[in-house]
Amino acid sequence: MNRDRRVSLAGAVLSAALVFPSSSRADEPPAAEPTTTPPPEPTEEEVREEKRAVALEKGRRAMQLFRAGQYVEAYPLFRDADEQFHTPQLVLYMARCQDKRGKLLEARALYERTLVEPLPGAPSESLLRARQAAAAEIGPVRLRIPTLAVDVRGPPPTEVTLFVDGELWPMDEPRELDPGKHEVEALARSGARTTREVELPEGRSVSIVLRLGLFAKGVERTIEPAPIEPARPTWSLVAASGLFSIGALALVTGVVMGGLTLDRRGMLETECVQQRCTPAGFGAYEQTKTFASASNLGFGAAAIAAAAGVSVLLFAPSTKPAAARGARVELDVRGGFMAVRGVF
């Protein structure tokens, strides 16, 4: 009997061992799925240090190029480094690059930028040295900057547009430029055009005069030829008539081209404002130069033909005595108009 009871107890314990563990696992909640935690946003200090590291690397490369005399390649690296992490030391070397390249106006501006930048409460020794270097180097740069003054003779200043290196330029006002070659061009409202290349040495003030020829204010000139006693042959009249005809044709050509220049000039004044031109303005500018050149050629040919015709009439022999002849010729040039008056 005791044996049967032990067997029954053992069976009960086994059954409990098999039932209760399985039921407890069934009651456990399902395990949560693993989640990915996003990386934390970099702090302001970390971003600053990253930019500083980039600027430091570019600054080192730029310094190597600067010491090797490769100022053109070094300048953009110094500029990029300064944009990443600004320091006056980088601006100082940007100024030195432009100084070595002859870009004196930009070099002066960068030196001044270094000098006017506020100092922190406890400036470092390298920052103080950079400011001292800028103060010492800006003086010689200022003395090396040349100036250019342009005087246009002929039309009134209000009727002339002046360009230097393709940019609008104020009339009768000296301006600073970088040393080297510069192209100066004057366009008159009447269509006259003249161009000149100027070489500006360092530290010099240069003044030039541009003349617009026949487009100056009207003048009168009287020519009194020497008395000529021999008779004037018929060929002189024919030659003079032919020359005056050629001059008239050239004058008409000059007037037509001048009118076209005025038309393009109006568009140029509309499309070019404050030294900036639209694409249409640049097109009008090129057309204005072409028409102005043709107009100048026409008026020039007219002047030459008229002068040749007058010379034939003046110096050809006449059949009348000099005392009775009282020969004289008067030239009247007003803008694009030329008149010849004479008594023979």
Q: Are 144 and 104 contacting, i.e. CB atoms less than 8 angstroms apart?
A: yes
88 and 123 assigned to the same domain: yes
Please give the pLDDT value at position 96.
Answer: 95
Please give the pLDDT value at position 191.
Answer: 85
Q: Are 214 and 333 contacting, i.e. CB atoms less than 8 angstroms apart?
A: yes
pLDDT in tens, 48-57: 888 888 889 9
Entry pTM: 0.51
Give the model's confidence band at 231: pLDDT under 50 very low, under 70 low, under 90 confident, else very high.
Answer: low
Instruction: State mean pLDDT over 257-272.
Output: 68
Looking at the structure of the chain, the number of domains it has is 3
Instruction: State mean pLDDT over 253-261.
Output: 70
Q: Are 65 and 78 contacting, i.e. CB atoms less than 8 angstroms apart?
A: no
Please give the pLDDT value at position 42.
Answer: 78
Please give the pLDDT value at position 7.
Answer: 45
Please give the pLDDT value at position 35.
Answer: 62
DSSP 117: S
Instruction: Please determine, for residue 180, whether its predicted confidence score (pLDDT) is greater than 80.
Output: yes
| Side chain identity at residue 270, one-letter code | T
137 and 151 assigned to the same domain: no
Cα(36)–Cα(12) distance, integer angstroms: 48
In a domain, 13, yes or no: no
Helix, strand or coil, per DSSP, at residue 38: coil
Q: Which residues pair with 330 in a beta bridge?
A: 222, 341
Last residue of a domain, one of 213, 231, 255: 213
Please give the pLDDT value at position 142.
Answer: 95
Please give the pLDDT value at position 224.
Answer: 46
Please give the pLDDT value at position 245.
Answer: 73
CATH number of the domain to which 170 belongs = 2.60.40.1120
64: left (phi over 0), alpha (psi -120 to 50) or beta: alpha
**Containing domain of residue 270, as a range?**
219-343
Residues 6+ apart with CB under 8 A from 276: none
Q: Are 305 and 275 contacting, i.e. CB atoms less than 8 angstroms apart?
A: no
Please give the pLDDT value at position 303.
Answer: 75
Instruction: Please determine, for residue 160, whether its predicted confidence score (pLDDT) is greater than 70.
Output: yes
pLDDT in tens, 2-14: 555 554 554 554 4
Whose tokens are 């192209």? That residue is 183
In a domain, 11, yes or no: no
Instruction: State mean pLDDT over 128-137.
Output: 93
Instruction: Please determine, for residue 41, whether its predicted confidence score (pLDDT) is greater than 90.
Output: no
Instruction: State mean pLDDT over 164-172.
Output: 85
In a domain, 20, yes or no: no
In a domain, 335, yes or no: yes
Lowest mean pLDDT among 82-91, 219-228, 245-254, 306-315: 219-228
202 and 124 assigned to the same domain: no
Instruction: State mean pLDDT over 79-84.
Output: 92
158 and 101 assigned to the same domain: no
**HSE-up of residue 216 (Cα within 13 Å, Cβ side):** 11
Q: Report percent pLDDT > 90 for the chain.
A: 31
Instruction: State mean pLDDT over 187-212.
Output: 90
223 and 337 assigned to the same domain: yes
Alpha-helical segments (H) within 28-169: 44-67, 71-84, 88-101, 104-116, 125-144
CATH number of the domain to which 51 belongs = 1.25.40
Please give the pLDDT value at position 200.
Answer: 94
The winner for highest mean pLDDT among 124-128, 225-229, 239-243, 246-250 is 124-128
- Size (the chain), residues: 344
Higher pLDDT, 102 or 341: 102
In a domain, 19, yes or no: no
Instruction: Please determine, for residue 294, whether its predicted confidence score (pLDDT) is greater than 80.
Output: no
238 and 333 assigned to the same domain: yes
Please give the pLDDT value at position 120.
Answer: 84
Cα(193)–Cα(185) distance, integer angstroms: 7
Instruction: Please determine, for residue 291, whether its predicted confidence score (pLDDT) is greater than 90.
Output: no
- pLDDT averaged over every residue in the chain: 75
In a domain, 34, yes or no: no
